[in-house]
Amino acid sequence: MAPPLIQLKDIALTFGGTALLEGVELSVAPGERVCLVGRNGSGKSTLLRIAAGMIEPDRGTRFVQPGATVRYLPQEPDFSGAATTLAYVEAGLGPGDDRHPARYLLEQLGLSGNEDPATLSGGEARRAALARVLAPSPDILLLDEPTNHLDLTTIEWLENELASRRAALVLISHDRRFLANLSQATVWLDRGRTRRIERGFAAFESWRDEVLAEEERDQHKLGRKIVAEEHWLRYGVSARRKRNVRRLAQLQALRENRRSYRASAGKATMTATAAEASGALVIEAEHIAKAFANRPVVTDFSTRIRRGDRIGIVGPNGSGKTTLVSLLTGQRAPDGGTLRLGANIAMASLDQRRDSLDPEATLAQTLTGGRGDTVTINGKPKHVTGYMKDFLFAAEQMRTPLSALSGGERGRLMLACAMAKPSNLLVLDEPTNDLDLEMLDVLEEMLSDYPGTILLISHDRDFLDRVVNAVIVPDGNGRWLEYAGGYSDMLAQRGADLAREPAKAAREPRAEKPALPPQPEPQSVKRKLSFNEKHALETLPKTLATLEAEISALQRQLDDPGLYVRDPKKFSEVSTKLAAVHAKLADAEDKWLELELLRAEIGR
């Protein structure tokens, strides 16, 4: 095995009271591609800065192979002292490095090199920073959220560029597809320590869940063992004094083990406040158009969006995604065509511009609008502290000014504000920015359960595939096409990615398919639900609820730490019964899902 290019050993760092890093290890061999994952605030960016030599840890050693070149991409690049983007990129080159790649990479990333860094947008700044770290062709690339602010076209270019290079990579990203396509090993930073598997990100989440489940089992066993030892201490027959002292010391060690255990952070709870259902037709646009300074942004676009549709809108930065959404929601009037909004529309939106928040306002003031200390969720008042905890904010952060929040915390706050507003139409503009993977899971679950309609602008390919059932993409000169399915389905139909022209055979949107000539229908008997199937559809929801209630009751019995000591036989019986009820519930859920799919298919 080749010696590591960079190696961190026993790294420890403490900010305030709790240790951020405790005995952390990180090793990267030549050409190895490692993704570094963990929750927001777990210390991923700090660890990457230690690897880059920018922060000195409290304890531990950092080794870099002599002669190896390291380049670090921060989340917030510093352009001070650079007159142009070309000057900024060239400043990252070594004394003997070729100057040509600097200009070439800027051109590949859509920049001329003459831009003033002070006037760059977030996406342009990120592209210039990428050109700076890629131009020297370093041996090790340390990339902190490289896809932030990038559009899909640039993300796919970057993915291909990194895949073609021989440099070793350490990646931090919330983009699952990006990590899965590039990583060969995964390092999980959790509660101050690192765990590593020699597999890419695609295998990480199932492995993480197994680790956490095993931890939970171990803590449960530890609790039961402590209870048993305490029972012996109180009621056991006295044995030799030395044995008693030794056993008492073991009990103290068990208690200390439980006290020192750092439980994983709780899971966020996200619920959208539902308004009264909208009409069946939500949005109908016919031949709408919009241009700015004679530049067409939307040309002759038609669509029909019904209640429950989940529409993804993707495209390069500057293609007009936000303008299209503002036209469809009636916030901006079209230059031509007609727009009709359905009845009883209640819209809640999330704007990607986090700077719209008042930096001087506190977290509580932002959530309550400065009125009282409660938030109304689904018609019921909830104390702002409890609502903050649902989004993983600590109670002591209630008076924290927004200027002190991290990017991930601001993202969670904006989601909390949007979810508190009653709605049946959600308009989300880049909701995944700065969110960690666990928060993305919670957001995805909430959207899957949302009963209304969703318009989603996103550059996260995996998130789009999981959430939407149709995708709208630009086709040049203000034309927009609609495709059924998620992002991957759109690529399959289009025959090309967003940077190239689609195949002619797949250019028609879902709402604009030409009518096919009438075909003689085959003579067949239409499938119908049987009496038993109808009866099962009506009764299964009640059965599911009964089984879930039974599981909760059994689980409460097992949660009693003294049950095993008092009655081992009952503990075994309850455990066996719980497993059997779980199996019944799984079978019932499968049956219900099968019948629902069948009913939907017959309805079509």
Under DSSP, the state recorded for 117 is: G
Residue 422, classed as helix, strand or coil, is: coil
Tokens of residue 376, six digits = 């109304």
pLDDT digits (tens, 9 = 90+) for 551-562: 888 888 877 777
pLDDT for residue 272 is more than 70: yes
Look at phi and psi of residue 59 and say left if phi exceeds 0, alpha if psi is from -120 to 50, else beta. beta
How far is the C-alpha of 466 from the C-alpha of 444, rounded, in Å?
Answer: 7
Question: For residue 540, which of 499, 493, 589, 500 has the smallest C-alpha distance?
Answer: 589
Can you give the pLDDT at residue 501? 45
Q: CATH number for 281-512: choose from 3.30.1330.30, 3.40.50.11260, 3.40.50.300, 3.40.50.450.
A: 3.40.50.300
Please tell me if the domain spanning 6-206 has the same topology as the one spanning 281-512.
yes
Q: What confidence score (pLDDT) does residue 143 get? A: 96
Q: Is the pLDDT of residue 56 over 80?
A: yes
Query: With 80 as the cut, is the pLDDT of residue 293 above it?
Result: yes
What pLDDT does 121 receive? 84
Lowest mean pLDDT across 419-428, 504-513, 569-578: 504-513
pLDDT tens digits, 434-457:
777 888 888 888 888 888 999 999
Range 19-23, long-range pairs (CB < 8 A, 24+ positions): 19/192, 20/46, 20/192, 21/46, 21/47, 21/57, 21/192, 22/192, 22/193, 23/60, 23/193
pTM given for the model: 0.69
- In this prediction, residues 58-78 reach a mean pLDDT of 93
Is the distance from CB of 124 to CB of 150 less than 8 angstroms? no
Confidence at 517, pLDDT banded by 50, 70, 90: very low
Per-residue pLDDT of 157-186, as tens digits, reads 999 999 999 999 999 999 999 999 999 999
Rounded to whole angstroms, the Cα distance separating 231 from 223 reads: 12
Residue with the larger pLDDT of the pair 261 and 122: 122
Nearest-5° Cα angle at 277, 286 to 440? 85
**What are the residues whose beta carbons fall under 8 Å from the beta carbon of 339, sequence distance 6 or more?**
283, 284, 285, 286, 288, 327, 328, 330
pLDDT for 372 equals 79
Q: Is 146 or 237 the better-scoring residue by pLDDT?
A: 146
Q: What is the pLDDT of residue 503?
A: 42
The answer, yes or no, to whether residue 514 has pLDDT greater than 50, is no
Taking the CA atoms of residue 321, residue 344, residue 411 and residue 461 in that order, the dihedral angle to the nearest 10 degrees is: -50
- Residue 218's CB is within 10 A of a number of other CB atoms, namely 12
CB 434 within 8 A of CB 174: yes
How many CB atoms within 10 Å of residue 115? 19
Q: Which two tokens stand for residue 307?
A: 């209640």
Q: Which amino acid is at 442?
A: V
In this prediction, residue 483 carries a pLDDT of 93
Distances in whole angstroms, Cα of residue 466 to Cα of each of 158, 200, 206, 434: 23, 20, 17, 18
Q: For residue 105, is it left (φ>0), alpha (ψ between -120 and 50) or beta?
A: alpha
Q: Percent of the chain beyond pLDDT 70?
A: 84
How many Å apart are CA 318 and CA 320, to the nearest integer?
A: 5
pLDDT of residue 383: 87
Amino acid letter at 336?
G
Concatenated DSSP letters of 182-235:
H-SEEEEEETTEEEEESS-GGGHHHHHHHHHHHHHHHHHHHHHHHHHHHHHHHH
Task: List the 425-429 sheet strands across, edge first.
Answer: 347-350, 425-429, 453-457, 310-313, 470-474, 480-484
Q: What is the pLDDT of residue 512?
A: 40
For residues 216 and 527, the model is more confident at 216
The C-alpha atoms of residue 134 and residue 342 are separated, in whole angstroms, by 50
Residues 412 and 392: beta-carbon distance below 8 Å: yes
Please report which confidence band the pLDDT of residue 263 belongs to, taking 50, 70 and 90 as the band edges.
low
Q: What is the mean pLDDT of the chain?
A: 83
What is the CATH topology of the domain spanning 6-206? Answer: Rossmann fold (3.40.50)
Cα separation, 345 vs 280, in Å, equals 11
Residues 169, 34: contact at Cβ < 8 Å? yes
Residue 289 has pLDDT above 90, yes or no: yes
* pLDDT mean over 473-491: 91
CATH number of 531-603, picked from 2.60.40.10, 3.30.300.30, 3.40.50.300, 1.10.287.380: 1.10.287.380
**Whether the predicted pLDDT of 505 surpasses 70:** no
Strand order in the sheet with 6-14: 19-28, 6-14, 59-64
Of 372 and 453, the structure prediction assigns the larger pLDDT to 453
pLDDT score for 188 = 93
3-class DSSP state of 169: strand
Q: How far apart are CA 543 and CA 536, in angstroms?
A: 10
d(CA 192, CA 44): 10
Separation of CA 403 from chain center:
23
Q: Select the more confidently predicted residue: 68 or 437.
A: 68
Question: Sorting pLDDT into bands at 50, 70 and 90, what band is 142?
Answer: very high
Mean pLDDT confidence for 42-54: 92
Domain ranges in the chain are 6-206, 212-260, 281-512, 531-603
For the chain, the distance separating the N- and C-terminal CA atoms, rounded to the nearest angstrom, is 58
User: What confidence category does residue 508 fall into, taking pLDDT thresholds of 50, 70 and 90?
Assistant: very low
Residues 273, 421: contact at Cβ < 8 Å? yes
Q: Is the per-residue pLDDT at 526 higher than 70?
A: no
Q: Which residue has the higher pLDDT, 333 or 565?
A: 333
Q: What backbone torsions phi and psi does residue 410 show, to the nearest 5 degrees?
A: -65, -40
pLDDT of residue 285: 95
How many residues does the structure list for the chain?
604
